Amino acid sequence: MGKSGERVRQLKGKRPGYGEILDFYSRVRELQDRSKSSLKTDPIKLEKERKDLLAREGFSLIRKEDFPLDIGASIDLFRSLCLLGSAGNPHFASQVEKIDEALRNGTMDLKALFSGDGKEQTIEQVAADRGLDKQVLSFLVRSSIRPSIERCVEQLRGELDPETWRKGHCPVCGSLPSLSLLKGEEGRRYLLCSFCCYEWRIDRLFCPACDNRDQESLKYFCGEGEEAFRIDLCDRCHRYIKTIDYRSLEESDPCLEDLATLHLDILASQKGYTRPDGVGQDLKSAVLGLPGGSRMEVPFISSNGQGDGS
């Protein structure tokens, strides 16, 4: 994987307890990249009324269900991910067995599942009806459609100015962000969409979960010796978002960096904060079942003076 592979090796050297998790994610990305290279998706047709709403009232450019998917490629990737997960994660393997059984007896239709565009309600219903772990199924579905989603976003970049949006939800699909990124010498802040991975500019002091801009109720903490990674906390809604500071870190896959700092998520949870609506939890739940996931080391946490550092 070139540059990404080198970053994985660096992270594994610094945090050996994350080895299996990072290797799993790397293999997922390899499968996704392979799938993306042969995708067949229809061009996106933008509705003029929707574009006008974006400009006038802050609506997203398209709805999640408007993303054209390569259903066949998504199904193939779904099956490959099942094989990958079942080889290293006992819980994942048990879920794959249930999925295989449902496919054999005709109680699960992957084409119908993906035609639902990976909607959370559809995933929840299918998981409940088949006795499946919703987080594992969500991970499989969302990871399988990600190549198609990324291809669509590439088509739409010219329709948007990421520097002028300044809202807490994605201008492309309306989803909440999964991460915050600091870039450039000035430390400009960007948000990364949890669904389509589009990046857009946002104010430095801002909670995307509740639009809070009150400096007194916004704080953060970071790990000792890990100043490039921090958790931004909002005391108004008790949500948090993880921030990656690329001013002191070479450009890399933000989702990889997110996985490599799960100890910060654990600490935020212990302090009583949550990510908005479980953003990003399907991937974390899937990989945490891998051997070694329970061996994560939680380093001493430093504070900015507004929260305890214990």
* Final residue before a domain boundary, out of 157, 173, 200: 157
- Structure-model confidence comparison of residues 132 and 290, the more confident one: 132
CATH of the domain at 196: 3.90.1670.10
What is the pLDDT confidence band of residue 57, given thresholds at 50, 70 and 90? Answer: confident
207 with 294, same domain? yes
| Residues 181 and 264 reside in one and the same domain | yes
pTM of the model: 0.87
Distance CA 193, CA 310 (A): 31
List the Cα angle 72/78/263 in 5-degree steps: 145
> 51 with 148, same domain?
yes
Question: Does residue 242 lie in a domain region?
Answer: yes
Mean pLDDT of the chain: 85
Looking at the fold, whether 200 and 286 belong to one and the same domain comes out as yes
Same domain, 135 and 258: no
Is 186 domain-assigned? yes
Euclidean distance between CA atoms 64 and 5, whole angstroms: 31
pLDDT digits (tens, 9 = 90+) for 186-245: 999 999 999 999 999 999 999 999 999 999 999 999 988 888 999 999 999 999 999 999
- Same domain? For 180 and 264 the reply is yes
Q: Which domain holds residue 78?
A: 35-157
For the beta carbon of residue 134, count every other beta carbon within 10 angstroms.
16
Instruction: Work out the angle between the directed axes of helices 19-36 and 134-156 (0-180°, nearest 10).
Output: 50
15 within some domain: no
Q: Are both 121 and 235 inside the same structural domain?
A: no
233 is a domain residue: yes
Are residues 111 and 178 both part of a single domain? no
Asked whether the beta carbons of 41 and 90 are under 8 A apart, the reply is no
Whether residue 52 sits in one domain with residue 141: yes
Single out the residue in 133, 157, 181 at which a domain terminates.
Answer: 157
* pLDDT tens-digit readout, 117-163: 556 778 888 999 999 988 889 899 999 999 999 999 999 888 888 89
Specify if 20 maps to a domain: no
Same structural domain, 168 and 295: yes
Q: How confident is the model at residue 70 (pLDDT cuts 50, 70, 90)?
A: very high
| Residue 305 burial by Cβ neighbours in a 10 Å radius (0-12, 13-18, 19+) | exposed
Same domain, 50 and 173: no
Residue 299: the pLDDT is 43
Q: Of the residues 157, 187, 204, which one is the last residue of a structural domain? A: 157
| Number of compact structural domains in the chain | 2
Check whether residue 134 and residue 120 sit in a common domain.
Answer: yes
